Amino acid sequence: MPPGAVQLDVRSPYTGTVIGKVPLTPASGVAQAVEAAKAAASSWKDTPLRERTQYLYRFRQSLERDLDALAQLAASEAGKTVAEARAGLLKGMEVCDFALSLQNLDTGAHLEVSRGVSCEYRREPLGVVAGITPFNFPAMVPMWMFPIAVTLGNAFILKPSEKVPLTACALGELMCEAGYPAGVFSVVHGGREAVDALVAHPDVQAVGFVGSSAVARHLYAEGCKRGKRVLALGSAKNHLIVVPDAEPGLTAQAVVDSFTGCAGQRCMAASVLLAVGNVDPILDDVVFRAAKLEVGPGMGALIDRGALDRLETAIARAEAEGARVLLDGRGRKPQGEPWSGGNWLGPTVLDNVRPEMEAARRELFGPVLSIVRVPTLSAALAVENASPYGNAASIFTTSGGVAQTVVEGVRAGMVGVNVGVPVPREPFSFGGTGDSRFGHGDITGPSSLDFWTQVKKVTRKWSARTDGSWMS
């Protein structure tokens, strides 16, 4: 730790106690990290792709070896359950698998376009790139970015949320263990000062971000103003559409899992249930199943006291605006002294929410489900389309025609049919539309390759030809 460095306390959402400390990185420290990355980028770029994948292969082996310990660490600082943290790591490993496949899949292209003339493209790294990631997935979201970016030949700087820096440090240690050259991967810590320093630095060529739409919009504008590539994923207000012919048991469980998983702290969580016509038996089952969930380590905690206060205020405001609280999670806490300092909110279901109410419009980021009743499928699509966000939407039905109408009609970039959390598996990429994404392309999958690289086109001719076309 540098002399005089300011230390940041890391508190567990489960207990409120300090579980670790990290030094905050000042702007000068960010500049040093960029300089080290810049120095490493040149030789790393010249390392053949096949050799670069060997480093990632060793990193992935270490991830698999330390999976349980990493899941425990991520859960302890993010408030996730251990099972959820483990699932996030496995999703990150899936992105590693995609990056490892690039040595065989992304081999460029070469074509003889005319007699004696050929064209090809070469994919070249940008140099120094950065990722700014949120608290809710301390391992998965960073691994959406750096395995692909580094394997493509870039030097990567990770700035994790200051609320969950410990998992990022552990990932950095595994990158060192894998043998990556110094400067190819580094971690800086802090809040806005560190972010601003990364975005402003002239040698940082591209920035990936996941967080709120307000910050995503700001970073996108600031980065583009400086000529950088920016892909910033923002907030979400995901809609689950339930129609009368939906399979009752499957639907009720999927809805509960979607809005309570990760304590509702994920951009793919169900937020609004659009009840088309009379689906009250399914809604009753949703409430019944959610009420049986035990608040505590088996469900997960909110990240901090500020999140709890914000959610309790939002529930009270919805109630004052006319919503009916079918299930109230306020005040619910697990038994036992170890959890008395934690940030707890039980599953909460609000009925008779109107589309113009805050509970139907703004991302609450907690285990709160707002039911908006609509008479027709067309009315449900109108509500979904009116949202400024476009991350995810799902339809619950046994009718293929209804499902296809929703798939074609929703605005969201990720759509589920009888799936409560429609996260695509790799190589199908992750990304929304509207105010859920600022920039072009997706953060994973094939389109991410173009974000982290520059495609160079080469046209060759070696000799004059008398039998050529106009291009010869």
Lowest-confidence segment of 101-110, 297-306, 325-334, 413-422 by average pLDDT: 101-110
Convert the pLDDT of each residue in 176-219 to its tens digit.
999 999 999 999 999 999 999 999 999 999 999 999 999 999 99
**Final residue before a domain boundary, out of 374, 399, 417:** 417
More confident residue, 452 or 113: 452
210 and 322 share one domain: no
Cα–Cα distance, 240 to 258 (Å, whole number): 9
Q: Which residues pair with 241 in a beta bridge?
A: 274, 395
pLDDT at residue number 2: 55
- What does the block give as tokens for 6? 């300011």
Q: Is the dihedral of CA 203, 208, 214, 220 positive or negative?
A: positive
In which element (H, E) is residue 25 found? none
Residue 349 and residue 408 in one domain: yes
Stretch 267-283: mean pLDDT, rounded? 97
* 3-class secondary-structure state, position 22: strand
Last residue of a domain, one of 234, 253, 281: 234
Distance CA 278, CA 281 (A): 8
Kindly state the tokens that stand for 218: 């700001």
Place of tokens 């509970």: 359
Residue 198 belongs to some domain of the structure: yes
Do 229 and 292 have their domain in common? no
Known active-site residue 267: yes
- d(CA 428, CA 91) in angstroms, rounded, equals 12
Task: Note whether 181 and 276 are same-domain residues.
Answer: no
Q: Which of 234, 267, 292 is the last residue of a domain?
A: 234
Across 285-296, average pLDDT:
96
Domain that holds residue 87: 24-102+124-234
Share of the chain above pLDDT 90, in %: 90
Q: 439 in a domain, yes or no?
A: no
Q: What is the CATH number of the domain that holds 133?
A: 3.40.605.10
Mean pLDDT of the region 423-435? 93
Cβ-count burial 274-312 (b if 16+ within 10 Å, e if not) = bbbeebeebbebbbebbeebebbbebbbbbbeebbeebb
Catalytic residue chosen out of the listed positions 96, 176, 224, 267: 267
Quote the CA–CA distance of 52 and 60 in Å, as a whole number: 13
Is pLDDT above 70 for 472? no
How far lies 441's CA from each of 55, 198, 306, in Å?
27, 22, 33
In a domain, 108, yes or no: no
Total domains in the fold of the chain: 2
Instruction: Say which CATH number the domain at 403 has.
Output: 3.40.309.10
- Give yes or no: residues 380 and 401 share one domain: yes
Cβ atoms of 233 and 210 closer than 8 Å: yes
The percent of residues above 70 in pLDDT, for the chain, comes to 98
Q: Same structural domain for residues 253 and 354?
A: yes
The answer to whether residues 432 and 388 touch, using CB atoms and an 8 Å cutoff, is: no
Identify the pLDDT of residue 470. 61
Same domain, residue pair 326 and 409 = yes
Question: Is 194 a member of any domain?
Answer: yes
* 130 falls within a domain: yes
Do residues 80 and 97 share a domain? Answer: yes
